[in-house]
Structure 1
Amino acid sequence: MEAITFPNGPISMAGHLHLPTGFDPQGSYAALVVVHPGGGVKEQTAGLYARRMAEQGFVTLSFDASHQGESGGEPHFLEDPSARVEDVRASVDHLQTLDYVDAERIGVLGICAGGAYGVNATMTDHRIKAVTMVSGLNIGTAYRQGWFGSDPDAAAVPTLEAAARQRTAEAKGAETAYIPYVPWELDDTTPRDMVEAHDYYLTPRAQHPNAQNKKLFARSISRIFAFDAFHLAEDLLTQPILMVAGSEAGSLWHSTGLHARVRGPKKLVVVEGGTHMDFYDVPKYVERAVAEATPFFREHLAAEGDRG
């Protein structure tokens, strides 16, 4: 693994480049951009998948989102979906500058919100030839409709009103307000997936100093609530897609809903017993996702002479 930086317009992106075992700098490799969840950093689940897929023969690039982790961009801790999608495109830019990467054999693997960001980037950047979404979460839809998708979009209005008031207050000199990605405090009403997210991000299980469990309140909320990663997926997502999710995940509806909409090559794998967070680092579930993603990418990122 090599720590690198690469440009994303005026922002310097921090990444980890993973090379396959037996790497030959004179070779020509398929490559994957690995996109971390909202609130995560490259050292967590994205790095785990990047390492595992490099072991399968792919050049992989995991990175910190702009405005987050070790990457540049101010204000820091901002979750801007449009910027997150542009991060994926900038990662493709960088991979295409590497002599040992075949520019026609680049795919994306994303986890949670990173999976949906990867899908959106794939829809609008056809340099990406295939995409895998693991425990996918369409962040805008999830914030508007709730973790289980049971709320109407209009339920978002009070939160947007509060965000507007906070932004006005900050414009007049108030201190910046932050809200967490996952709850600091748990009670009997906390969804199981959020209890497990608390355990992942806020305990030694995967806690990292660059993932501080916060985002700018007024600045992020208005961007997130207006975003729909799957808008126009029926027409724009023509590249093959693999979706892997757990049968017990409260977020499963994001994957099943997208699968129903996609008209192009698609595969949905629902793993019995799996929760949303199981696919972050639980070996049984990570290995299942890797076992599905490996042949998928080998088929759809095959060299020209190897395609059937």
Structure 2
Amino acid sequence: MNQDKPNQLATEQALENSGRRDLLKMTGAGIAAVGVAAMTSGQAFAHSTELTLESSWDKTFPKSEKVNHQKVTFQNRYGIPLVGDLYVPKNASGKLAAIVVSGPFGAVKEQSSGLYAQTMAERGFVTLAFDPSFTGESGGAPRNVASPDINVEDFSAAVDCIGMQDHVDRERIGVIGICGFGGMALSAVAVDKRVKAVVASTMYDMTRVMSKGYNDSMTQEQRTQTLTQLSQQRWADVESGKPAYGPVSLELQGGEPQFVVEYADYYKKKERGFHPRAINSNASWSLTTPLSFMNLPILTYIAEIAPRPILLIHGEVAHSRYFSETAYEAAAEPKELMIIPGATHTDLYDQTDVIPFDKMTNFFESHLA
């Protein structure tokens, strides 16, 4: 046996991961500085034709005694099976207003979206938190891929699902999108006129950050170089017969920007937001995920949400605040931008004393009346 073989393999693996890190630094601002993950084997990327649903309560927040909960499955317009958590106020009677929820980008319904959904159900709404295509318990292959088109469609598919529930008034449906799925939510509502009101909390426009970098800092030369790298990665993927993934998400090495440290504090801590099915906690995006985001801006028609109302919520000190501010400028009335004093981007993921649930409740009660 060649005793140098393990060392050689380790060196080769380190070089391969280093190359993937270099590519990720260039692609979509490191896939928004969160979807940085390793090529792994096993169930995380297995392709399955059947959905496997967890039957136990495995959320990152405690179960409420005020609502009933059940898993639901439905399909989007592309035939991809999706999985959601349906929350219904106990002793519900008659037809109620309803809200569908998803996000953040790279998260699962057991994290922030579930917390938002359960809390709003406690306040009298039927709610549905769902996993987007290719992630969490939802279907789609390969795994851990995102698409601005398909993920916008996922919101409308969730509207289909919740509108079929016995206790739901189809004329009183709203949407909440969190982080990267805040932008998806706004895009979905622009085209889906069934939705009567929308909230985007700590919103990212993923097409903007991937195509232009943070604060629109990407130069044309950098964009061209990124697209060249992504194009070459396609050759590598087709030759291997499977997509490549980078090093594990949010494994901090030291020297990262403060907002990346804040992401890690949420996604990596089991006492806070860690969940084994979340890409940002335990897995990775495919390296070529940014391709369609580089070319398809999702907020082009945000003004067409009007005359239906928009509520944008953002932390005062969040690195991402500019996304909500420019979306607010582009939107038509009625619209409102609520800035939470002293709050960071991730404070609005799970800090129940910071997330303005009273404001959202009043907003939806008013506009889903």
- Structure 2 length-normalised TM: 0.76
Counterparts in 2 of 1:21-100, with a 5 A limit?
21-24=90-93, 27-100=94-167
1:81 is displaced (CA, Å) by 1.5
RMSD across aligned C-alpha pairs, in angstroms? Answer: 1.7
Show structure 1 runs of 5+ residues with no match: 303-308
1:235 is displaced (CA, Å) by 3.9
1:201 aligns with 2:270: no
- Residue identity opposite 2:275 in structure 1: H
Among 181, 193, 198, the residue aligned to 1:131: 198
Q: Distance in 1 between matches of 2:303 and 2:104?
A: 24
Counterparts in 2 of 1:133-212, with a 5 A limit?
133-152=200-219, 155-173=222-240, 176-179=243-246, 182-188=249-255, 190-204=256-270, 205-212=272-279
Q: Residues 207 and 294 of structure 2 are in contact (CA less than 8 Å); yes or no, is this contact kept in structure 1?
A: yes
- Local SS of the residue matching 1:176: coil
Q: Which residue of 2 aligns with 1:8?
A: 76
Q: Which residue of 2 aligns with 1:305?
A: none
1:20 aligns with 2:89: yes
- Local SS of the residue matching 1:54: helix
Distance 1:71 1:174, change over 3 A: closer
- Local SS of the residue matching 1:216: coil
- Local SS of the residue matching 2:124: coil
- Local SS of the residue matching 1:3: strand
1:144 is displaced (CA, Å) by 2.5
- Residue identity opposite 1:64 in structure 2: D
Q: Residues 181 and 215 of structure 1 are in contact (CA less than 8 Å); yes or no, is this contact kept in structure 2?
A: no
Q: Distance in 2 between matches of 1:44 and 1:181?
A: 19
Q: Distance in 2 between matches of 1:90 and 1:34?
A: 12
- Residue identity opposite 1:278 in structure 2: D
Distance 1:203 1:158, change over 3 A: farther
Distance 1:191 1:4, change over 3 A: same
Note the alpha carbon deviations across 1:14-54, whole angstroms, 9 max, x for none. Answer: 11000114322xx1000000011111000000000001100
Moved more, 137-146 or 127-136: 137-146
Select the structure of larger CA radius of gyration: 2
1:129 is displaced (CA, Å) by 0.6
Identity of aligned residues (%): 36
Q: Residues 147 and 250 of structure 1 are in contact (CA less than 8 Å); yes or no, is this contact kept in structure 2?
A: no
- Local SS of the residue matching 1:102: strand
Distance 1:38 1:112, change over 3 A: same
Q: Residues 197 and 277 of structure 1 are in contact (CA less than 8 Å); yes or no, is this contact kept in structure 2?
A: yes
Q: Distance in 2 between matches of 1:181 and 1:256?
A: 32
1:201 is displaced (CA, Å) by 1.3
1:99 is displaced (CA, Å) by 2.5
Distance 1:263 1:180, change over 3 A: farther
Among 273, 293, 301, the residue aligned to 2:360: 293
Q: Which residue of 2 aligns with 1:217?
A: 287
Note the alpha carbon deviations across 1:254-294, whole angstroms, 9 max, x for none. Answer: 100011111120010011111100000122212x2x12111
Q: Which residue of 2 aligns with 1:121?
A: 188
Q: Residues 83 and 138 of structure 2 are in contact (CA less than 8 Å); yes or no, is this contact kept in structure 1?
A: yes
Note the alpha carbon deviations across 1:50-102, whole angstroms, 9 max, x for none. Answer: 01100111000001111111111111111111111111010111112123210
Q: Distance in 2 between matches of 1:240 and 1:61?
A: 20
Matched residue count: 296
Q: Distance in 2 between matches of 1:230 and 1:154?
A: 24
1:234 aligns with 2:303: yes
Distance 1:227 1:237, change over 3 A: farther
Q: Which residue of 2 aligns with 1:306?
A: none
Moved more, 150-159 or 277-286: 150-159
1:236 is displaced (CA, Å) by 4.8
Q: Distance in 1 between matches of 2:129 and 2:219?
A: 35
1:262 aligns with 2:331: yes
Q: Distance in 2 between matches of 1:192 and 1:68?
A: 27
Q: Residues 6 and 12 of structure 1 are in contact (CA less than 8 Å); yes or no, is this contact kept in structure 2?
A: yes
- Local SS of the residue matching 1:19: strand
1:108 is displaced (CA, Å) by 0.2
Q: Distance in 2 between matches of 1:114 and 1:201?
A: 17
- Local SS of the residue matching 2:267: helix
- Local SS of the residue matching 1:239: coil
Distance 1:149 1:186, change over 3 A: farther
Q: Which residue of 1 aligns with 2:45?
A: none
Distance 1:202 1:159, change over 3 A: farther
